[in-house]
Every structure is written in structure tokens, then in C-alpha cells.
Amino acid sequence: MNISIFYEKQNTYKTINDLTYHIGNVGADLYGKNQNRQDIDIAAFTYNDAKFIRKEMQVNNEEMFFLYIYINIFSENLKELEEMIDKVEGLAQSKGMQTKRATFRQEQLLKACLPLMINEQEIKNVARRNVLTSGLVSTYPFISSSIFDEEGIFIGSNVYNNSLIFIDRYNTEKYKNSNMCIFGTSGAGKSFYTKLLILRYSLMGIDQYVIDPEKEYNILAQNLGGTIIKLGPRANNYINIFDIREESIEEDENGYLATKIGKLIGFFNLIFGNLDEEEKAILEEKLIEVYKLKNITFDDKSLYKWSKGKKIFKESIDMPILEDLYNILEQDKKTKKMKIKLIPFVKGSLKFFNNYTNVELNNKLIVADVYELGEDNLKYGMYLFTDFFWDKIKLNRNIKKAIYLDEIWRLIGVTSNKDVAKFIYKIFKTIRKYGGSSVAITQDISDLFSLEDGTYGKSILNNSSIKTFFSLEEENINLLAKYSNITEKEKIEIKSLKKGECLMFVGEEHILSKIESSDFEKKLIEKIIDKEEELW
């Protein structure tokens, strides 16, 4: 069907005069000798309406319009057409709307529904309704929320009105930060949506770093010419957790070693379990000692060396490795338990952690594949890469960049610890000033809010200007509602979302959206493209 809506603004001065005249006449009838007429209720109704309209126009600066709404329903056969007309009439009447068929006036109504701006008098007399400005607004076809950021990327369409959604999450004037949260059950569409974001932002030349615990982003990285860094027993890539990088602090700041020790305490908390204050103090003492072996102290000048007549920042080969710490822990009875827990990392199945860094991040898209670490060890690799990527993000404030933390609950959930969670929260809180965007992705809502009574999960949620909720189980929806301003209606919507549909919180706007992509994008994301498309 086609729907055509016409508005005709009326002369305010004339309208108020006519209303005043009508109010006077009807008022005289109401309070005069005709009070016993059967139509007294109708007269009183029009009298009150006229007074209300006049008040709105005089006091609230409302305008009076004539409103005409025409619906043109069409079908290939008469029976189906009748059924469709009956259905539309029933829907309209159920909402308290009056309808009238354009018998013998079909031609005029057809013209009114064409883009010709023709509204003939023969049908105007029947269709005309009075409406004030505030009522007129509700008839506008795109009244439901929509987002169209001028420099944004295409996300999809509004489920209710099919308007297109373009979001520029780096728009600092509109959004308080560029962070995102993407939540949804397995198969709801969150991974495809994340890959679509990566693909479209790659076209804009934005640096993107992905922590991939499920080996989901490799095909996309290959098709986009990205770099895949694999960490595991069969990989030849190594990252040294003890590396201190030049970009790890700001130019006008100092304290390289102090900053690094804070991060290392978080990492070793994952290995040794939650350390008490005494154990942390002992560990810090050993960390200071292990750096001292490499002539690195709290004096930042100790991080520089001379090479070929130039003063340069020390490289990974100049840093200690896990084995150096292991040897120091072995010499002290108080750290015997710590030494035992480091054995797999130095001599056992996880000894690939005990090596010097041999990877460089010179690509626009970097995927950190930690799948081979196994379920119990994923958190070590995720933290290692997060620390690695965070230093790179701080390197240049003028370049837009993003870090995607898939299955983020592993770093801020109950299996993690406060030190690691604080580090992740710090990224979400401060990445904006480096021109960056943090993206939290998870399907395990309960685990996300399990540490410290949900403190860190809630903080990350609140520090994300854009929140995307795909279909979730009722239990997770109720938990999510506890930490966000989801209405009862929105809770029902999230539960009944179809695959690829999501409820988006974009700034102050709440939009029910359908994620859309082209066939070519689907091939880039889901499988290797053929040679013809590759050439294209």
C-alpha cells in the first residue's frame, strides 16, 4: 500500500476568531433555554474542544492544520484486495481511527497517492481533520528514533521504519567516547556484526587490534591483508611479558619501571592466584631484582642504550624473561610456591611465554589468535596481547584506532582478578584521549558481572557510548537490566529478536535495528573470495 499525507496550515488570526465565535454561540446554547436538548453532550464536547484549541494557539503558540491521510491499497486480484482492505480497516478502527472507502472517487485518491502533490476538493471535504502542531508531529513517517551521522559507517536499518542507520563512533562532539559493548547469545549475530565493523572501518584506514580467543577472525584478516599473530605451542610468534616499550608512557611523564611493575602484578595474579598485600610486596621486590640484572632501574635513563653512535630505547633482547624471574624465585624459600607455578611457563607446555618478542605491529589490522592456548590458559594470552596493543594505541594520538576484546569476561570476570580488571577498565576510561575505541564483546553476561559484584562490568558498560544487545536469554536480560536503563518493553524486544536484529543504545537514542551487509561483504567475512572478486 501507499500512504499519502497532506498538511494545510490555517490562518491563526482567522482560526482564533472563528473559535471565539463558536464558543460564544455554543456557550449560549448550553447555559440557555436549550439545556434539555438530546444533543447537549455533543455540544458540550465541541465547546470544550474549541476552548482547548484556542488556549493552545494563544498560550502555547500552537498552529492549526487541516490533515488529510489517504491509503491506496493494491493487489493483483480482487479477492486478495478485499481481504487487505478489511485488514487495514480493522487495524485502523482498533486504534480508534475512522476510515471511509473512496467509492466512486478512486481516481482522485490514486492521484493523491502519487508524487504529484494533487489533493482534489472532492475528497478533501470527506478526509479533512483538524490537528495542532503537537499532534501533527506524530504523523511524520520517521518519528521513531534514527541515527544518521554524516561521516558514519552504515550499520543497518531501523526495524520500525526502515530508515538507514549511520554511526560515527569517533564523533567526539556527539558521543562522550568511542567505546562499544556488543552482547548476545551464540548465533545471534554479534560476531558477524563485529566483523562487519572491522571490515568497514578498514576501508577508512583505521588501525584495529583484535583479541581473538575463538579463532573467528582469521579469514577476515587474510582477506583484508591483515596480520595474524598466533600464540601457542605450535606457533613461532613470541611476546615477552617483561618488555618495557618506549610508548608505554607519555612523553612528558616518567616512571617506566613503576608503570610496568603495576601491569606485571596483574599478570602474575592470574598465574599465582589472588595475592595478598604481603605476597605482592615480595613479588614486587623480586621483579625489581630481575630488572636490575639487565641494568634497568627506576631511573628512566637506564632504559636507553647506545647503538651505532645513537641513543636508542632498549629492545626486547635487553629485557628479562620469565626464566630470569624463575631463577630468582628459586633462591628464596618465601617464593617457592610462586616458582612451582611458573614451571609450566618456563619448562613445560607454556614455555612459549618464556621468550623474547619477535613480532612487529606494522599493519592496519592485527588479529591476536590465542585459540591454541586452551580454555584454562586463554586469559594469560589475552592479557599479554591487551598490554601489547595498549602500548601501540598510545603511540600516536592523532591516528584513529580500535581494540576489540572478544570474550572480555575472561579478563574482568570471576576467573580474573581486580588488578587485571582495573587495567581493562583503565583502557575503556582513557582510550578516548588517544583517539581510540574499546569494544567489549561477550555472550556470558553473568560472568561479565561476577567479579566484585559486577563493579567492573558495570563500569565498562557505563563507559561505552554505544551499546548493542542481540538476542539474550531471559536470565541474562534480567541481569543486564540490573546494570543498565533497559525498559520492560525493551526487555521483551531483546528476548524476541531475530538473528541479525539488535537493540542499540546510541548516546541517548534507543533503536531497534537490523544489521545489513552486501553479499560481497558476507564472502569477505565468511569464506575466501574467488579470484575474479579478488581482482575486482
Q: In the listed set 355, 370, 401, which residue is the last one of a domain according to the structure?
A: 355
Arithmetic mean of pLDDT, 18-43: 73
Same domain, 485 and 406: yes
CATH of the domain at 204: 3.40.50.300
pLDDT band at 309 (very low <50, low <70, confident <90, very high): confident
Q: Percent of the chain, pLDDT > 90?
A: 65
Does residue 146 lie in a domain region?
Answer: no
Q: Is the pLDDT of residue 299 over 80?
A: yes
User: With contact defined as beta carbons under 8 Å apart, do 290 and 330 qualify?
Assistant: no
Work out the number of other CB atoms within 10 angstroms of the CB of residue 381.
27
Q: What is the pLDDT of residue 527?
A: 67
pLDDT score of 280 more than 90: yes
450 and 308 within one domain? no
Tell me the three state secondary structure of residue 435. coil
Instruction: Spell out the SS3 assignment of 129-186.
Output: EEEEHHHHHCCCCCCCCCCECCCCEEEEEECCCCCEEEECCCCCCCCCCCCEEEECCC
Express each pLDDT in 443-498 by its tens digit. 988 888 999 888 999 999 999 999 999 999 988 999 888 888 888 888 888 988 99
- CA nearest neighbour of 105 among 119, 85, 84: 119
Residue whose cell numbers read 609450566: 344
Higher pLDDT, 534 or 510: 510
Bigger pLDDT: 332 vs 38? 332
What is the chain's mean pLDDT, rounded?
89
Predicted local confidence at residue 536, as pLDDT: 33
Report if residue 159 sits inside a domain. Answer: no
Q: What confidence category does residue 139 fall into, taking pLDDT thresholds of 50, 70 and 90?
A: confident
Chain segment 394-410, per-residue pLDDT in tens: 988 899 999 999 999 99
Compare 39 and 380 and report the one with higher pLDDT. 380
35 — pLDDT class (breaks 50, 70, 90): low
In a domain, 523, yes or no: yes
* pLDDT class of 108 with cuts at 50, 70, 90: very high
The enclosing domain of 255 has a CATH number of 1.10.8.730
Instruction: Confirm whether 491 is domain-assigned.
Output: yes
DSSP assignments along 20-55, one per residue: HHHHHHHHHHHHSTTTT-TTHHHHHHHHHHHHHHHH
Domain residues for the domain of 94 are: 2-137
End position of a domain, from candidates 333, 355, 377 = 355
